[in-house]
């Protein structure tokens, strides 16, 4: 049996889970999420837990068993606690400002970069004198949040020589020595 798929998901007090045929609906204080589940995977809610089962041990069925369990666990955590990413913008003259759901960034290009985020994402920017600007995003959907964070990071990836760019807070960048070390 799938090691991930066989684990039941505990439902917190403030979360409501309903199974409507092939659709799984999870409601919580931070929002509502829906997921269509493959008909081969059976979903049941019993005694405050969500349990997934599969009819056979084929490779594809095993993969879906773990996949839908992981997606549902992320949905339950998202609507009850939410997800958060923190990114640092490192570089001289690099600036970030959030207006609603639009990020305005100065990243060393000849123009400003504007990025409109999904309406589900709440974004905050902090700019303190002498420190790197920080972008903090929160959302109940882990997939949308991760996609937005990856898009922001792709606008100016961290480079290995000076370490300039956009990186996740706490991320280690392998630094290279450069030309001067070759002598």
For position 39, which CATH number holds? 3.90.930.12
Q: Where are the beta strands (DSSP E) in the chain?
A: 9-10, 16-20, 23-28, 31-36, 42-46, 49-53, 83-90, 95-99, 102-106, 113-116, 122-126, 134-139, 165-168
Q: What per-residue confidence (pLDDT) applies to 181?
A: 58
Lookup: tokens for 166:
């956009």
Q: What per-residue confidence (pLDDT) applies to 85?
A: 96
> Beta strand 31-36 with 102-106: parallel, antiparallel or unpaired?
unpaired
- Residue 89 lies inside a defined structural domain of this protein: yes
| Residue-wise pLDDT tens digits, 129-179 | 889 999 999 999 999 999 999 999 999 999 999 889 999 998 888 988 888
Prediction pTM value: 0.86
| 87 and 164 inside one domain | yes
- The answer, yes or no, to whether residue 107 has pLDDT greater than 50, is yes
| 65 and 138 inside one domain | no
| 119 and 51 inside one domain | no
- What is the residue range of 65's domain? 9-80
Q: What per-residue confidence (pLDDT) applies to 5?
A: 85
| Residue-wise pLDDT tens digits, 12-67 | 999 999 999 889 999 999 999 999 999 999 999 988 899 999 998 899 998 999 99
Q: What per-residue confidence (pLDDT) applies to 3?
A: 82
| 33 and 94 inside one domain | no
């Amino acid at each position: 049996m799938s090691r991930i798929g066989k684990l039941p998901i505990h439902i917190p007090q403030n979360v409501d889970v309903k199974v409507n045929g092939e659709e799984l609906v999870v409601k919580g204080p931070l929002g509502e999420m829906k997921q269509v589940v493959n008909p081969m995977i059976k979903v049941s809610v019993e005694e405050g837990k969500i349990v997934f089962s599969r009819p056979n041990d084929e490779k594809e069925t095993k993969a879906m068993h773990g996949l839908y369990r992981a997606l549902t666990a992320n949905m339950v955590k998202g609507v009850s606690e939410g997800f958060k990413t923190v990114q640092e913008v490192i570089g001289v003259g690099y600036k970030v400002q959030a207006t609603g759901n639009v990020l305005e960034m100065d990243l060393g290009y000849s123009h400003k970069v504007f990025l409109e985020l999904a309406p589900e994402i709440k974004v905050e920017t902090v700019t303190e004198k002498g420190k790197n600007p920080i972008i903090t995003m929160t959302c109940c959907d882990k997939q949308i949040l991760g996609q937005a964070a990856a898009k922001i990071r792709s606008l100016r990836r961290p480079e290995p020589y000076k370490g300039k760019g956009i990186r996740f807070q706490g991320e280690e960048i392998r630094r290279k020595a450069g030309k001067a070390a070759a002598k």
